[in-house]
Chains A and B, each alone.
Chain A
Amino acid sequence: MSTSTTAPGGTAAPGQTRDGDGLGEPLDLRRSHSRGFGLGFVVKLILMALINAFGLYGILAAWAAGSWGILAFLVLALVVADLVYFLPTRRLLPAKYLFPGLIFLLVFQIFVVIYTAATAFTNYGDGHNASKDAAITQLTTTYEQRIEGTDAYPVTVLEGEDGLALATVRDGQVLVGTADQPLTPLDGATAADGRIAEAPGYEVLDYGGVVAVAGELSDLRVPVGEQEAEGVLRTDDGRTAYAYEPTLVHDEAADAMVADDGTVYANNGEGAFVGPDGEALRPGWRVFVGLDNFGAIFDPEVLGGPFVAVTLWTFAFAILSVALTFFLGLLLAILFNDEKLRFRNLYRAIIFLPYAFPGFLSILIWAGLLNTDFGFVNEILLGGTAVPWLDNAWMAKLSVVLVNLWLGFPYMFLVTTGALQAIPGELYESAEMDGAGPVRQFRAITLPMLLVAVGPMLIASFAMNFNNFNVIYLLTGGGPQDLESTTGVGGTDILISFVYKIAFAGGNNDYGLASALSILIFIMVAVISALTFRRSKALEEIS
């Protein structure tokens, strides 16, 4: 605002300016000369320079990292951005305003949804993380044994530019090798007492340094010589290394892993090599598995039982939450709709508080309040009883609904208060004249009018509670856990917390299965929304 007063007619606003305006307008010399080079244009240039720098950096980094998908996207996005903001055509005007939001929407909403859908048809997860080649490489390094009859190598761990290296002394000569380079003599290196004292181009790690890189060190394999049969050096303690050879070899013709004892692990077509006894080698790799994940969800032997139970509870939880919060909120709204009630505003302010308090904090506080052994509710309110509020499956269900009632009733109170006040008083007057009592008035006037007004909000509230991860996870963690089930499912788990457990919390992170469940949840929410959506007036908005 202030800029526009100091430079009237200039392009005062930050952001996009310059073009598209003033076409076909009467020529106004007073300001035409400044157009295009005002403050706004400068800001725009700076912003676009930053964006281009950011994009170019990303393109180079993606090239270096071999992330071709990201590279292609960045090139495309950058070209489009420059076209949108620099082409002087009026047709691109809406694009100037839509572009920033669209980019984020595209990447973090639309793409992830599509990616979820794609993952749902794979076996992606722990043990099936990477490509087949990566799995074979990992298998050959994992399954290895010391070559019989070879000597121990006293080694020193070095750190060079390309990562860790091992050095050893043989025939008075210092040999250094890395993961990519077999042991070769290094000029200028000195040794003392069998340990390397100095190695040009490398830093000699002391004991502390070795401990710090222990993880990296255990993965280090240094070829002994150019011949593969000589094996690779591997050290566990950073002082002594032994030559190892792989016990599993990939037979490309048969597409199988062959162990040194002749056991053949054949490719089972589902992303793993499986031996004759049915034992699968880990890791496997990622493959398309069709509808297997969906099959597993509905198969009573696998996930079917928990899935049905969790789905039913999810609906029950969402419906109960909406119904209870709505009725308590409505009750209070009717109560406080009496203008003559004293302290009404004080009461309202207090009831507003649970709504204003950040939800995740109040849920955690409730978890403490309801603690069986030490919680305030059992200890003080109930005088030292031990009601298993969160430890018994049914009590825990009751508890999450109660806590959600506490969290949600202020919202319903606010919403219904607004709706109540908007019902014309004449309706009640004429009803009274016709002899309708308070109950009849409530049923015939208040409730229908109210439902029309707050109906969409009830639907929105249902959809939100359907995926109310916080109240479940922070209060009970989905528990108490069902010990008979291997899935880790608990008595209060709703679908989304169940998905979370499958994907991240369990022992086996199964992203494919979790994605398939996500898709099912989406379909449920979408169907419910679509059914109610057709009744809402939102569509009429689009004109």
Chain B
Amino acid sequence: MSTPTTPTPGDRPGDDRSSGTDRAPWAAAAGAPSAGTSNTLQPTDTLRPPGAATGSPRPRRRRRSARGGWKHLAAIAACVFALFPLVYALSASLSASGSLLGSNQLFSDVTGANYTNLLTDPQNPYLTWFGNSMFVSVTTAVGTVLMGAAAAYAFSRFRFRSRKGGLLALLVIQMFPQLLAFVAIFLLLFAISEVYPFMGLNSRLGLVAVYLGGALGANTFLMYGFFNTIPKDLDEAASIDGASHAQIYWTMILPLVTPILVVVGMLSFITSFSDFLLAQIVLQDPEQYTLAVGLYQFVAVQFGENWGVFTAGAILAAIPVVAMFLFLQRFIVSGLTGGAVKG
């Protein structure tokens, strides 16, 4: 923030987050981000340290232990339901048998053999798939954030003739799931292959390009609402001091809207990481597969036989994603309540 008019920290709209804790993130529910969008990013109490609410008077304490028992039972039941497939997968990945049937005795015979097989099988280049998935998803996420933010900035800050129409058009386009056009996408990429072989059918760049086609429709509105909460006085002040529009955008606005960029980037990453249909249609060569396509082909061929190795692959693939989710949980929760749906 080198511009002379840099606002003092107290002026930063982001600081709204510290106030108004009684308003919930969902106040900006889907499609209405401006209803206090800055609130969408307030941390929910999910992150509050445990035991924050202790110290209640004694009589109530006794009541709780009497009444709270069933609550714990229900909570534990929910946790078991949530956890058991994942625990099972972890156990199967460590099982010595490697087959579906043999994986049923949880943690009976722990070995790392499945992981070794997974990483050394030349027929199923897991690491290549992993790399492909990362390349596709990271590129898509970065591209989506850059293009979505730029468009949101234009809609939020400039007044031009087709602005309202453009926003409305985006809202309508957003309704059409790109997935539905997969036949046309296949045929289009087939045609592009003749001109740009490196981004046509069976190429990772082609897949990224397809995903980026959905970038504006899905996210601009979410971002637009957030951009609107940044006071325009900031831009005007900076502009009077001689900052160009690009300077304002890159060095002033973008840092202020980081939270929404993180949310959009995350969701875009997850959507492309988990996409199976389009990836399956575009990528045909095992060297180009993403994890979704590769692991599916791998396990679909001989369902029971490859089970141990598949679960090992699933666990390894999930670790970075789950870690990222937990690390950015605060942002995700607010993004969800802003109306995003995980693909």
Chain A residues close to B by CB (< 8 Å): 1, 4-5, 8-9, 11-18, 20-22, 25, 28, 31, 35, 40, 57-58, 61-62, 65, 67, 69-70, 74, 91, 93-94, 96-98, 100-102, 104-105, 107-113, 115-116, 119, 332, 335-336, 338-362, 364-369, 371, 373-376, 379-380, 406, 410-411, 414-415, 417-419, 421-422, 424, 453-457, 459-461, 463-464, 467, 469-470, 473-474, 496, 499-500, 503-504, 511, 514-515, 518, 521-522, 525-526, 529-530, 533, 536-542
Query: Which residues from B are CB-within-8-Å of A341?
Result: 68, 71-72, 75
**Residue among A21, A338, A424, A499 making CB contact with B239, cutoff 8 Å:** A21
| A11-B244, A108-B185, A109-B217 known; A422 vs B24 contact (CB < 8 Å) | yes
Query: Which residues from B are CB-within-8-Å of A16?
Result: 246
Number of interface residues of B (CB under 8 A): 138
B331 CB within 8 Å of chain A: no
Q: Is the CB of A116 within 8 A of B147?
A: no
| A467-B177, A538-B31 known; A5 vs B2 contact (CB < 8 Å) | yes
Query: Which residues from B are CB-within-8-Å of A539?
Result: 171
Q: How far is A343 from B54 in the complex, measured between Cα atoms in Å?
A: 12
**Residue among B182, B212, B240, B246 making CB contact with A503, cutoff 8 Å:** B182
Chain A interface, >50% SS class: helix
Chain B residues close to A by CB (< 8 Å): 1-3, 22-27, 29-35, 44-46, 48-53, 56, 60, 64, 68, 71-72, 74-75, 78-79, 81-83, 85-86, 88-89, 92, 99-101, 103-104, 146-148, 150-151, 153-155, 158, 160, 163-164, 166-168, 171, 173, 175-188, 191-192, 194-196, 209-210, 212-217, 220-221, 224-225, 239-240, 242-247, 249-251, 255, 270, 273-274, 276-277, 281, 292, 295-296, 299, 303-304, 307, 310-311, 314, 317-318, 321-322, 325-326, 329, 333, 336-337, 339, 341-343
| A414-B333, A460-B30, A460-B339 known; A345 vs B46 contact (CB < 8 Å) | yes
**Residue among A21, A358, A362, A540 making CB contact with B243, cutoff 8 Å:** A21
Distance from A357 Cβ to chain B, minimum over Cβ atoms (Å) = 5
Q: What residue in chain A is nearest B321 (Cβ atoms)?
A: A358
Can you show 9 pairs from A to B with CB atoms below 8 A apart? A4-B251, A5-B2, A11-B244, A100-B147, A108-B185, A108-B210, A115-B187, A352-B329, A368-B311
Q: What residue in chain B is nearest A452 (Cβ atoms)?
A: B29
| A1-B251, A58-B196, A353-B86 known; A109 vs B177 contact (CB < 8 Å) | no
Distance from A369 Cβ to chain B, minimum over Cβ atoms (Å) = 6
Q: Is the CB of B295 within 8 A of A361?
A: yes
Q: How far is A100 from B152 in the complex, measured between Cα atoms in Å?
A: 12
Q: Is the CB of A358 within 8 A of B147?
A: no
| A98-B154, A353-B86, A365-B311 known; A374 vs B64 contact (CB < 8 Å) | no
Q: How far is A50 from B333 in the complex, measured between Cα atoms in Å?
A: 39
Q: What residue in chain A is nearest B40 (Cβ atoms)?
A: A418
Q: Is the CB of A541 within 8 A of B31?
A: yes
Query: Which residues from B are CB-within-8-Å of A40?
Result: 244, 246-247
**Residue among B100, B163, B209, B339 making CB contact with A375, cutoff 8 Å:** B100
Q: Is the CB of B88 within 8 A of A369?
A: yes
Query: Which residues from B are CB-within-8-Å of A116?
Result: 180-181, 183-184
Query: Which residues from A are CB-within-8-Å of B71?
Result: 335, 338, 341
Q: What residue in chain A is nearest B4 (Cβ atoms)?
A: A8
Q: How far is A1 from B243 in the complex, measured between Cα atoms in Å?
A: 13
A21-B239, A108-B178, A341-B75 known; 6 new pairs, CB 8 Å cut-off, are A20-B245, A100-B147, A108-B209, A345-B48, A351-B82, A357-B86
| A108-B214, A350-B79 known; A453 vs B29 contact (CB < 8 Å) | yes
Query: Which residues from A are CB-within-8-Å of B176?
Result: 109, 113, 522, 525-526
Query: Which residues from B are CB-within-8-Å of A96?
Result: 154
| A108-B214, A374-B304, A518-B180 known; A115 vs B188 contact (CB < 8 Å) | yes
Query: Which residues from B are CB-within-8-Å of A499?
Result: 180, 183
Distance from B324 Cβ to chain A, minimum over Cβ atoms (Å) = 8
Query: Which residues from B are CB-within-8-Å of A107?
Result: 188, 209, 213
Q: Is the CB of B183 within 8 A of A515?
A: yes
Q: Is the CB of A364 within 8 A of B314?
A: yes
Query: Which residues from B are CB-within-8-Å of A352?
Result: 325-326, 329
Q: How far is A474 from B297 in the complex, measured between Cα atoms in Å?
A: 10
**Residue among B30, B46, B79 making CB contact with A536, cutoff 8 Å:** B30
**Residue among B195, B273, B341 making CB contact with A62, cutoff 8 Å:** B195
Q: What residue in chain A is nearest B64 (Cβ atoms)?
A: A340
Q: Is the CB of B191 within 8 A of A67?
A: yes
**Residue among A17, A342, A496 making CB contact with B244, cutoff 8 Å:** A17
Q: Is the CB of B250 within 8 A of A14?
A: yes
Distance from B62 Cβ to chain A, minimum over Cβ atoms (Å) = 12
Q: Is the CB of A101 within 8 A of B246?
A: no
| A108-B214, A357-B86, A422-B27 known; A538 vs B32 contact (CB < 8 Å) | yes
Q: Is the CB of B81 within 8 A of A406?
A: yes
Query: Which residues from A are CB-within-8-Å of B192?
Result: 70
Q: Is the CB of B44 within 8 A of A335?
A: no
Distance from A508 Cβ to chain B, minimum over Cβ atoms (Å) = 14
Q: Is the CB of A67 within 8 A of B175?
A: no
Q: Is the CB of A110 within 8 A of B245?
A: no
Q: Is the CB of A525 within 8 A of B86?
A: no
Q: How far is A346 from B83 in the complex, measured between Cα atoms in Å?
A: 13
Q: What residue in chain B is nearest A61 (Cβ atoms)?
A: B195
